Chains A and B, each alone.
Chain A
Amino acid sequence: MRRVARSGAFVLAILATVGRALLCVGVATGLLYLLRPYVAPLGGTLVSDALPLDELPNHAAIPLPIFVAVWSGVGLSAALLIQPRRSWRADVGFACVLWLCALAGTAASVFIVRQESPLSGLETALTIPAVYIAPLLAGLGAGLVHIQRAQPPRTARARAGTPSESRSFRRA
């Protein structure tokens, strides 16, 4: 019974991670799309193909600071809303799933925009730096929440008592 519950929880955790990754890709892309007209004139270092569907009118690039702020902020926001497991392993797993989602999304966009074959779309997507930088930033953002949550709130600690006190209570 306990094994069934544990595997059920594992499946739920995977689904939550996939959901969180998809949410991150969607939200970050949407925010970058909304911000692009205002931040494009800033210039500086640009992250190319950050908005791959807008490649035709040359609107795909985003200034690096904005890209960093949006992706890490979205990773942090998603971790605040959905946090299936509070461990660094969960954050790494999340970053990996996010990379797959970003890769699939970019490959599909390249395939649609450039009218290439799906395979060459995937090959092109593998060479786009944004596909790698984005999950790294979102993973770091999620990690920040994990660090914060690793320490339980002071009130909760007071209620639970010290570890030695708890052990002695159980023995009695």
Chain B
Amino acid sequence: MALSLPRLRFLQLLALSVCAVGVAGLLGYIDNFWLYRGYPAPREPAYVKTRGHTEVIRVKSDALGGRVQRVYVYLPPNYDAARTRRYPVLYLLHGVPGLPQVFLRIVRAGIIDDELVAQRRGQPLIVVMPSGSTGPFTDKEWANGAHPHEAWETFVARDLVRAIDARYRTIRAGRGRAIAGLSEGGYGALNISLHNPGEFRVIESWSGYERASDIRSIFGHNRSLLAYNSPLDELPSVAAKLRRTHSFIWFYSGRHDRLRDQNDDFAAVLTRLHVRHRYLVLGGGHDWRLWRGEAQAAILTAERALSRPGSA
């Protein structure tokens, strides 16, 4: 049976409609992956009666040549009501490509904070999520690079900590600060805290690494700079300070993660140097399933290891 022209036109119109619906679906598919990595949008469970809230602030950094960086700050439940209470702070560093919002959208850091408070399992934390690059696809490694105005480590350890302590009711000491990150952020958390021992009591690396990546735009192939920014090489020189300041390093790697060897080596050196730590090898690779699945354990670890909140 051959198609008559009107029937063909009708079928073409139908095909066009199918394509339009499909293209709309495709946009939703890509958007959902970009925002939530395929997971549903985060929602608070019904038992959480008091919720925290997010503020977006801008921090000007002298270390970055006066550059203004966007910082997401999650304030715990009852922060506004408890006007005399001081809170410990958890700094979360994103990976590359990445944005600070991923901790709220995919890892559900804010919701986990609320859940743990509602369940009375942990203490409320202020969660600080800075942007560690000039764009989502730009790699800066959270390190002080070889070029001027590229001191991303100093931005976090000095400028950001000062800005947060000045703006919010925080515990203004290392015993009230934790730093954590995923992938490149995990490396950054280790690298920053080893260069500033005592600044952060709890240091967490989620699938991070301990040898600096030889990226020319950051380290300029400078061997001494690479060694200085490799926690594996740097650890022996700061181990005594880490012990003295009661620093605790909590880190994990996926069983199939190609960066696992570096973490195994780092754990062995920490054991040899008697630095307080906990190392976990977990099922999985180097992906969001692992980071999202382990987020509650990671945040709970920080909440329990940090100083309890006191009065202002």
Q: Please report which residues of chain A, range 3-53, place their CB below 8 angstroms from some CB of chain B when the two chains form the complex.
A: 23, 26-34, 51, 53
B12 contacts partner chain A, Cβ-Cβ < 8 Å: yes
Pick the contact of B22 from A31, A51, A59, A115 — CB < 8 Å?
Answer: A31
- A102 within 8 A of partner (CB): no
What does DSSP make chain B's interface, helix, strand, loop or mixed? helix
Are the CB atoms of B287 and A115 closer together than 8 Å? yes
Query: Given the complex of chains A and B, what is the CA–CA distance between A153 and B18 in angstroms?
Result: 25
**How many chain A residues touch the partner (CB < 8 A)?**
36
Question: What is the chain A residue whose CB lies nearest that of B293?
Answer: A56
| B39 located at the interface, meaning its Cβ lies under 8 Å from any Cβ of chain A in the complex | yes
Q: Mark A107-138, 1 if CB is under 8 A from B, else 0.
A: 00000111110000000000000000000000
B5 touches A153 (CB 8 A): yes
> Does B312 reach chain A (CB closer than 8 Å)?
no
Say if the beta carbon of B268 comes within 8 Å of chain A: no
A148 on interface, CB distance cutoff 8 Å: yes
Q: How far is the CB of A150 from chain B (nearest CB, A)?
A: 9
Give residues 4-50 of B contacting A (CB, 8 Å). 4-5, 8, 11-12, 14-16, 18-19, 21-30, 32-33, 37-40
Contact B2 A80 (CB under 8 A): no
Minimal Cβ-Cβ distance residue in B for A23: B19
Nearest 10 CB-CB pairs, A to B?
Answer: A30-B25, A27-B22, A30-B26, A77-B15, A30-B22, A33-B29, A34-B25, A54-B38, A151-B2, A80-B15
Chain A residues proximal to chain B, CB less than 8 Å: 23, 26-34, 51, 53-57, 59, 73-74, 76-78, 80-81, 112-116, 148-149, 151-155
